[in-house]
Amino acid sequence: MTSTIDRLERDILRVFRCACRHDRPDIAEFMLAALEKLDSEHANFTASSRLLIDAYRDLAETSGSGKL
């Protein structure tokens, strides 16, 4: 089951990044909320937390450039 969750999180991160690239902050915010929800349910998995951190890092980088 963990691999299914990992795959779901990777897919959500991919869609989050796609939404950011296509200037869709509404969709990006929704995907970020989904990652946060999954992360809170599986807080003991380090891979899960890393994907959420990657999303936050992407958000910080795009916010600094005026995008998102």
Residue range 11-54, pLDDT digits in tens: 999 999 999 999 999 999 999 999 999 988 876 665 656 889 99
Asked, for residue 51, whether it belongs to a domain, the answer is yes
Asked, for residue 18, whether it belongs to a domain, the answer is yes
Asked, for residue 20, whether it belongs to a domain, the answer is yes
Predicted pLDDT of residue 56:
92
Over residues 44-54, the pLDDT tens digits come to: 665 656 889 99
| Domains held by the chain: number | 1
pLDDT interval class at 61 (50, 70, 90): confident
Contact 30, 47 (CB under 8 A): no
Burial class (CB in 10 A: 0-12, 13-18, 19+), 40: exposed
Predicted pLDDT of residue 64:
65
Asked, for residue 55, whether it belongs to a domain, the answer is yes
Domain range for 57 is 2-63
Query: If you ran DSSP here, which 8-state letter would residue 21 be given?
Result: H
